[in-house]
Structure 1
Amino acid sequence: MQYLRWLLLPFSVVYGFVVTIRNWLYDAGFFKSRAFDMPVICVGNLEVGGAGKSPMTEHLIALLKDGNKVATLSRGYGRETKGFLEASITSAASQVGDEPLQFKRKFPDVTVAVCEKRVMGIEKLQQKHDVIIMDDAYQHRAVKAGLNILLFDYTNLQKPQFVLPAGNMREPFSGRWRADVMVVTKCPTTINESDMTRCYNKLTPLSTQPLFFSSIAYQPLKALKGDDQQVEIDEDTTVFLLTGIANTAPLLSYIRTFTSHIIHHKYPDHHRFTTKNITKLADDFEACISAKKLVITTEKDAQRLTHDELKGLLVYVQPIGVKFLNQAQPQFDKIITDYVRQY
């Protein structure tokens, strides 16, 4: 597969050239980029797939929601609907997308909206809100966000940075210099100063671009049914891991710190679980002779599951958050709150 991607390098050159010209046309003013007289924060990344945008968006919501009327705006990837739509806690992932639904269920009092045309979305939200957080919109140049937070997955940062289709980059690596803040995410807890220096030298941020490092903060498991039932995992536990996310490596590594008995039902990012998928999971679960066994899934995947589909399986959700390293969270939070206070 890797050799096949090398054969696609000529197409990557063409793609990278087109994206570079597009960005130049926006920077030069030939393409219109709309700015708004209110704080608009963009959370994004350069790569296809997950870099921790959802936990970062949730961190921003939690930081700002008590003193501001906050709204999040996403494209709503994978939804079957079109146009502008506000999510409710009873919405389906097929209506608004799994990540926006996750935001709404976690923060019921915050407005969560989806719209593929972000300018239109902000126009509809701006009258009743003080702050808008755009999730996964770094390449959406039609909106000129006031603060761009760009995320980089630590595990992929040192790899060759090729654009699609030979690589995983949505745009050339030079696009990082549009960011106002950079964050290297999913860092191992054992990261040292030498590792951070290597990341810094790879990113070469401008003097105006503060660089932060963060790791995944794994929180206690929650029963999918929403009750307070607690669970403990040890080496005698067999975990059936059900995922439809881009990068499962960090979660697998975390679970392995408790047990080596993991049966992974792995599907593509944003996969819509079918009856056949759940039946296979249920059959494997029933066939397992382990006295202690449970199913674990991610918060995002949980939005695409229903209780009726799960056939009485014991399913737990693994919540995650953001943990800033080097005690840098106050500095990061101050950058965000100072920006919002300008308005």
Structure 2
Amino acid sequence: MSKIVKQRVSMHDESTSLSNYSKSVNKRSNYLYPCNQLGKQNLKHNSTKQLICIVSVPKQLKERVYIKSEVELKLAINYIPEHCLGNLKETPCTYNYRVTRTDQLDDVYFYTLELLDQPNYSIDQIVNLLLKQEDQYAQLAVELVHQRFNILNEYTQHYYISNEELLEVEQLAQGYPYHCIIQKVNKDNSSLSQRIVNEQFYALMGVTREMVSHHLHETKTLPSIFDVGTSLKLWCDVTLSSLSGVSHFDQYINTYEGAQYKCRIEQKQMFKRTQVNPNQIVFIEFRIFKLEEPLKSQLLNPQRLYQNQIDYFNRKNTEQEYQQFLNSMNYKQSLHYNNSQPCGYKQLAWI
């Protein structure tokens, strides 16, 4: 079974089980303490007030670093230095989202995202903001923003892949560093739902899962492999590759140490009806990073990752520390996924 489908179904089953348990507890409470419920009803009845709107004052939309709109743009006009992990800037996946939970299935990590409650920019506001930037790629960025909004009209015209076809893509990607974005789409808006990466992807950037977990806890953000936020050029290049649907493109990737390397990136895009709710359509985009030797072995070298980790946590370089690090890099196939920060009783909009 596809790991994406397996994790989604498991997460949905977990939520359903917790929801049913919560309802059972509430029923028992009502049965044992009926007078309390009556008191609550009377209190609710007595506290009912009628609110009359005299005048509606629109909120002023303050200029922000990250642009939020009805359609997911992954666009920023700058970056926040405090959100950097070493020399890695923040991924667009946490620009306007918070990570509600982290799941692990073998060497694959699933970050479930929840949209922040912030006002949206209209297209006109985004256009005006971009054209105010002293950037030679501002006009191209405006054109790409308009093209991004076409997904609301075109998502129903695509072929929807099966679980078996999704599994084939996962199997193709698993031998390489990759990241995957899942985006919910409907006629009114689109928003990110999950970011999925494998261990090799983090190794390519020069970080470990321990570093990423600590960084997420401290800053509520995740790192990007692209040098995003410094200018509109890179955003235009990556967005143009996505919109054109090319199978391959070349782009420079960032590392924790600050070095950049040119990389061949294979791109797989697809639309799918979700397993949990067939009426929900999602756009899935894989990016598979392919490097030639000896650069690949150099970047994926465990010694490099170990050095970056002890530097990040300011630990001493000892044999015991190194052996603990090597043991943490070993994986076993797991029948069930492991998760941290579970949703508990929180109701999430599953895809």
Determine if the TM-score, normalized by the shorter chain, exceeds 0.5.
no
Q: Which has the higher helix share?
A: 2
TM-score, normalised with respect to structure 2: 0.22
Q: Which has the larger radius of gyration?
A: 2
With CA pairs under 8 Å and 6+ residues apart, which has the higher RCO, 1 or 2?
2
TM-score, normalised with respect to structure 1: 0.23
